[in-house]
Amino acid sequence: MMSRGIASGMVAVADRERLHHLLAGRTVWLASSSPRRRAILRAYGVPFREVGHTLCEPPPAGPDWRRWVRSWSLRKARNAARPLTDNWVIGSDTIVVCRGRGLGKPAHAAEAAAMLARLSGHVHQVFSGVAIVDGRSGAQATGSAVTSVHFRTLKRQEIGAYIRTGEPLDKAGAYAIQGRARAFVSQIDGPLDNVVGLPVQTLIKIMERVSR
């Protein structure tokens, strides 16, 4: 779960005002079950409803990672938007890429351990895609953001202790930067909310495109 401090620390007043101006009082539907994305929207004071999608996402495949996350974000938004009207539908997708390999959510503890061992002592990139579908007009747009994250070298015991917390098992790359894994990070280059799972400035930019 995202702490209140981290969530509020990511909120820029100008972005909050611009976001609410673009929403214009309309309902937001979030095509995601991610508690991190919900926490970011709440931090910006955005009223929303969570709606499911029925897609089964395959393992991430490169080499065009930006295209991958944009494509799947749009598929999720369009899938959830089908029965809805007069709302904004947001879809998002996040992957971690380390040394040319895309890392999704681990299926079990052993896979989580392998992912964390791969990230240990290396710089990796986090790609998040965002898609908007305007349920009123049918207009749609996508965007993406990337952040480089530097992991210090992790001891085997650290990885094991972290996995036992259960935190890595529903996270892309097997870690939550807003949780205990922040102790593994030595440097971040790019937006923090992108690593959490929803880059708000990217969301604002694509909403502006749809609103024109």
Domains of the chain by range and CATH? Answer: 4-211 (3.90.950.10)
Whether residue 134 lies in the annotated active site: no
Residues 173-192 pLDDT 10s? 999 999 999 999 999 999 99
In this prediction, residue 9 carries a pLDDT of: 54
Residue 86: predicted pLDDT: 76
Report residue 3's pLDDT band, with 50, 70 and 90 as the boundaries: very low
Which of the pair, 114 or 83, is modelled with greater confidence? 114
Would you say residue 83 has pLDDT above 70?
no
- Over the stretch 117-163, which tens digit does the pLDDT of each residue have? 999 999 999 999 999 998 888 899 999 999 999 999 999 999 999 99
The confidence score (pLDDT) of residue 138 equals 86
Q: Phi first, then psi: give them for residue 121, nearest 5 degrees.
A: 75, 10
- Tens-digit pLDDT profile for residues 7-40: 545 678 899 999 999 988 888 999 988 889 999 9
Cα(176)–Cα(157) distance, rounded to whole angstroms?
A: 18
Catalytic choice (86, 93, 134, 170): 93
